[in-house]
Amino acid sequence: MPIADILGLKPGPTLLVTAGLDGDEYPSIEAAYAAAETYNGGNFSGRLIILPIVNVAGFDAGTSKNPIDGKYPKYCIPGSLFGTTPRLMRRIVQDYARHASLWLDLHSAAQGETVIPCLWNNISGVAAIDARGEAFTRVSGVVAAVREQGSTATRTLAKYGCTYVLAESEDEEQHGHYIDRAMQTLGMIPSVSSIRPPRVFTKTRDLETLEDIPGEGEVLLWKKVAQPPHPGARLGEIAYEEITE
């Protein structure tokens, strides 16, 4: 597993960036490698750890799962001693995440998929951990975010003082922005001007589809139907919001 472990010129917090947990999500992998090159000189405060391809076996096979045991690494956090993929994720948690203030887990569209700029920043119940996640969410540049009650992974990482955020985009440049803004949130590099905060949902199922319409702002589609629809049924609504720079 490739690793870039870079110390900044000044002391500060630690940011862990991972990509390639799904082995066929290439834009996030490329962005992670690019960030390692950008910050290789240490022109920041703190420590930057980048794991650009976590699921090496999946990357080699061109699959999201780890072909060795058929498991998705993202669903094995915080890991265990039993099984190939759970052991891998346990190593990442114990060797890197437990020493980090923020774990930014980058995901992108696999081949044939389309995703929107969005993130998952679940609630751990630890005030400082959740405040850090909210601060990143506000400046992340995504158009939608989900904050559900924390999973076992979120709560476990919070005990180590680590905030876990999963960020999605099919665009390599957007992933680069995620990394920069995570570093800004932690005070590792200077902050930029304010960015429009995203819509926040409390359930993943409420986040359906968000499509960028060039020159026309954004269209957010919700599908809220309790039963299978009949012909002519109203499936949802379109909410239009003008985006201004």
Amino acid 242: pLDDT: 47
Of 46-50, 143-147, 230-234, least confident by mean pLDDT is 230-234
Amino acid 208: pLDDT: 55
Q: Over pLDDT 90: what percentage of the chain?
A: 66
Amino acid 112: pLDDT: 61
Q: What is the pTM of this model?
A: 0.82
- Answer yes or no: is pLDDT of 218 > 80: no
Q: How far apart are CA 58 and CA 56, in angstroms?
A: 5
Q: How far apart are CA 43 and CA 6, in angstroms?
A: 10
Domain boundaries, the chain: 4-201, 208-241
**3-state SS assignment for residue 4:** strand
Amino acid at the residue 216: E
**Per residue in 165-184, pLDDT tens?**
999 998 999 999 999 999 99
Query: What CATH class has 4-201?
Result: alpha beta
**Per residue in 108-143, pLDDT tens?**
876 666 777 889 999 999 999 999 999 999 999 888
36-59 as b/e: b if 16+ CB within 10 A: beebeeeebbbbbbbbbbbbebbb
- Residue-averaged pLDDT of the chain: 85
Phi, psi of 172 (to 5 degrees): -60, -40
Amino acid 231: pLDDT: 62
CA 118 to chain centre: 8
- Answer yes or no: is pLDDT of 245 > 90: no
Residue 213's CB is within 10 A of a number of other CB atoms, namely: 10
Report H helices in the chain.
26-38, 56-61, 84-95, 127-139, 152-159, 172-185
Q: How far apart are CA 241 and CA 196, in angstroms?
A: 12
